[in-house]
Structure 1
Amino acid sequence: MELQLLFLGVVLLLVEGFIPGFGIFGISGILCLLGALYFFLGATAQAAALVGGVLLGLAVLGFWLIRRGPKSWLGRQVTLHLRSTAAQGYTGNADRKDLVGKTGVAQTVLRPSGRALIDGELVDVITEGEFYEPGTAIRVVAATGGRTVVRKEENL
């Protein structure tokens, strides 16, 4: 019985390692290993107390790893603590605030996104939800987070 539980526990831990999920395989594997230890020690009250102590120790270790682990010396060695922030010059997409207020012409169907020719430059744009045909006169109303928002221009 101990060997089957030991084997099953190892297999479940390997499955957890290769197919990460919610920890069901890993927790089941640990419980199987603890069960194997219990039966290996003779399935007595003393064995149950030892396995319970090991389980309690694992729970305390897990709690410590979650709360303090990343701030410990070992945690700092194995975690990435570099940040790619806008303050350091990193951006996902270029903000085109220079286009706000400018007019152009839709080059593709805007449903609601597409391309428009603004100041002789093809720009990826998005409408506020409307669909526009190619050739529709548009005006840039906002440019935030890499999104250039346009609206149909009535005066062109």
Structure 2
Amino acid sequence: MSSPMVASSRREWKSKCWWSRATGWWCAPSPARTRERRELLEWWLLSMLYLGGFLLFFLELFIPSGGILAVAAVLCTGYAIFELFDMGQQPLAWICILMTLLYVVGLFRFWLRRIGHRTNLGDSDASGADVRAAASLLDTTGITLTDLRPAGMANFAGDKFDVVAEDGFIPADSEVTVVENTGNRIVVRRVGAEARYPRRGPPRPEAGGEGLYRRQDPRCRRR
């Protein structure tokens, strides 16, 4: 007659056998099966580490981590490749190294293209905004920020613009008015100063206009 301890061990063994027959996985422990499970677990861990390194490399492009994600990605992929060499899988390890290099180079080119596209868009938007703002400055009054010799800086409604003095020199902190705006060239005149280049019209008498009138009059021509 068996003891209760022996009976319980038999029931436990029967339950294990039934579970192994039903699932086909947890069978009676053996050194070979334990080694297979361990190798399978190692392969899964190495695969997750390697793919996790790729994911961290990708996230480094969009999340400003100060290089922490990149270092973690290098550690994950490096450890996975080192374990492959240690397991005697040299061909697979070299293939992983080549794939990692190609992936990193592709991500770097994508990052350069993305940064360049942002820079071009920013420059075009800024230049377009400057041109539109400068186009509306005609007859606007502002203050010179620097001496205009003849070029310098002036402030119009809180915005800074590169301007050119019509008279050749205007000191800083002077009130000026925009008299010409052609493209990116903004010409200003000091408030209260006379125009250096007046508009075209009949010449003044004090500048010899009387003689010009006589020469232009058909009756004054020599016959």
Q: TM-score, normalised by structure 1?
A: 0.38
* Structure having the larger proportion of residues in strand: 1
Larger Rg, first or second structure (1 or 2): 2
Higher relative contact order (CA 8 A, sep 6+): 1
